[in-house]
Amino acid sequence: MAVSSRPNRAVHCCVVLAREIPMKIKLSELASIAEIIGAFAVVISLIYVGIQVNDSAGAVRSAAANDANVAMQNWYLQIGSNQQTSELVYQALISEEALSNEEEFQFLMMMHAVFLGFQNNYLLAEEGTIDAELRESLTMAISGVRNLPGMKRYWRQRKSYLHSGFSEWAEQIFSRDMGIPVDIYQLPEVEPEHE
């Protein structure tokens, strides 16, 4: 079996260096040199760790932004791809009166699900995990439905279940005039019949 000569070379090099070091260098001086080399090694290690942490933080922010987008996409897809669910949400939003108990419950649960997503985006933006611009773009839907009767019913009943900071922030959105007409939620105008 072949034995590696590497450990023997290292020992040989150390012996040769020890012979060549003039005897004038004291052990305390060698210790000082070792401390300096150790300090440089620590600094280099800290720089490396800092780079790794920065890369990791960027990856976390990117994943959080993706997750926020996917959550909203899934909610819209769930509502938009099921005719019964779409009709229920639409009717509940535009109706002055609550729907049947079962339908109103289903509507409130769906709205609360999306508002929990909005709240999550708000909290992630507050801590700096996602940027405020992404939060604003994901929550623009609030401004589109803020004046609808069903939205007002939902908000009156469920806002106390949400984070107080988010509720205050959403209230500010409700009070803004966004100037964005959302025609999809308007009832079609019926033309008068001509006699």
pLDDT tens per residue, range 91-129: 999 999 999 999 999 999 999 998 998 888 888 888 888
| Side-chain half-sphere exposure of 115, counting CA atoms within 13 A | 26
Which residue type does 37 have?
I
pLDDT tens per residue, range 27-51: 777 777 878 887 777 888 777 777 7
Band of pLDDT at residue 16, cut at 50, 70 and 90: low
Band of pLDDT at residue 9, cut at 50, 70 and 90: low
Q: What is the pLDDT of residue 6?
A: 56
What is the Cα Rg of the chain in Å? Answer: 33
Q: What is the pLDDT of residue 74?
A: 85
Could you give the CA distance from residue 87 to residue 91 in angstroms, rounded to a whole number?
6
Tell me the whole-structure pTM to 2 decimals.
0.62
Could you give the CA distance from residue 168 to residue 34 in angstroms, rounded to a whole number?
59
CB atoms within 10 A of CB 141: 15
User: What average pLDDT does this structure show over 2-10?
Assistant: 56
